[in-house]
Amino acid sequence: MSPAERRIAIVRDVKNHRPQQQSRHLVRRVVLAVVTAVVAVVVLPAVAIADTPAAWKNAPDVSGLQFLVVLLLIPAGLALVISLLAVLPSIIKDTGYAPGQSWRAESEWFGGPQKGIEAAADLSPQQLEAAESGRGGTSAQW
């Protein structure tokens, strides 16, 4: 083998994984799969075979209706009561907006002048922008 071929072979061996390393990885994966399968097939079912301790009393039988009441009706009833309690104040007041009526609430301007909307008419656009500077927003200057 010429010196140039030797250099190419060395570079090829360095750049490529050697077959020994690949076979080690394959063996590790196979061993891990076999151990996992043995644990899943032998050890885990053994836990399910365990009997209740002798000191425990036998549990009473539960009918299908009792099962449904505990798992479905009680949570659904609690959700209904909580929803009703959350909506009850607005049902009692009933001051909501109905289509066709004039709007009864005061207008609000979030982030506007602190003295209210009426004060905005007294300010020039330059004063409004000066008041808004340094407040954050899309400029991300907090």
Q: What is the pLDDT of residues 4-50, one digit of tens each?
A: 777 767 666 665 556 666 778 888 999 999 999 988 888 878 777 77
In angstroms, the first-to-last Cα distance of the chain is 71
**Residue of higher predicted confidence among 83 and 107:** 83
pLDDT-based confidence at 117, cuts 50/70/90? low
Query: Residues 60-65: what's their mean pLDDT?
Result: 89
- The CA distance from 91 to 85, in Å, is 10
Q: At residue 88, does pLDDT exceed 80?
A: yes
Average pLDDT, the chain: 78
Identify whether the C-beta of residue 103 lies closer than 8 Å to the C-beta of residue 97.
yes
**Reported confidence tier of residue 77, pLDDT bands at 50, 70, 90:** very high
